[in-house]
């Protein structure tokens, strides 16, 4: 599967609370972060947990500002996220 995001890309995580095992932590749902790097291509945990065969996907290290996750904090949190958890965020153009 092709890598959709490059380092530095702004991405937003899914807001969905899926009815199954997933590796998108609740605290990071719907948050906007920056792709640090692609960590490789792996079968989705969500699918392997249910015995579903699926095409392995790129996983990205995505960095979030604590403020954007919790409303407070001066630190960052970097989370490893499967591509299907993410959508591109486009800067508004004038």
Partner 1 sequence: MSRVNDVGGMEGFPPLVHEVDEPPFHADWEAHVFAMNRALIGRGIYNLDEFRDAVERMPAQQYLAASYYERWFHAISTLLVEKGVLAAAEMSDG
Partner 2 sequence: MSGDHEHTPGSLAARVRHVEGLLEQRELVDARELEVALEAFLARSSPANGARVVAQAWVDESFRARLLAHANSAIEELGLSMGGGLQQQRLKVVANTESLHNVVVCTLCSCYPIALLGPSPTWYKSEAYRSRVVRDPRAVLSEFGFDLDTDVDVNVWDSSAESRYMVLPRRPSGTGDLDVDALTSLVTRNGLIGVAPL
Distance CA 58, CA 10 (A): 16
Give the binding range for partner 2 (CB under 8 A) out of 6-14, 72-80, 86-94.
Answer: 72-80
Q: How distant, in Å, are the alpha carbons of 35, 71, 74, 94 from that of 39?
A: 10, 28, 25, 34
Distance CA 57, CA 45 (A): 10
Q: Which does 7 bind (CB under 5 to 8 A by kind): partner 1, partner 2, none?
A: none
52, 80, 88, 89: which one binds partner 2 (CB under 8 A): 80
Q: Which does 48 bind (CB under 5 to 8 A by kind): partner 2, partner 1, none?
A: partner 1
Maximum CA extent, the chain: 47
Q: Which does 42 bind (CB under 5 to 8 A by kind): partner 2, partner 1, none?
A: partner 2
Q: How many CB atoms lie within 10 A of CB 87?
A: 13
Number of residues that bind partner 2 (CB under 8 A): 24
Binding site for partner 2 (CB under 8 A): 23-25, 27, 39-40, 42, 45, 59, 61, 63, 66, 69-70, 73-82
């Amino acid at each position: 599967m092709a890598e959709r995001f490059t380092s530095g890309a702004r991405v937003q995580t899914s807001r969905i609370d899926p009815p199954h095992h997933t590796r998108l932590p609740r605290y990071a749902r719907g948050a906007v972060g920056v792709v640090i790097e692609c960590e490789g291509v792996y079968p989705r945990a969500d699918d392997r947990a249910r015995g579903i065969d699926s095409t392995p996907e790129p996983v990205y290290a995505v960095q979030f500002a604590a403020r954007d996750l919790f409303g407070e904090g001066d630190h960052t949190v970097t989370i490893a996220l499967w591509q299907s958890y993410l959508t591109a965020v486009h800067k508004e153009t004038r």
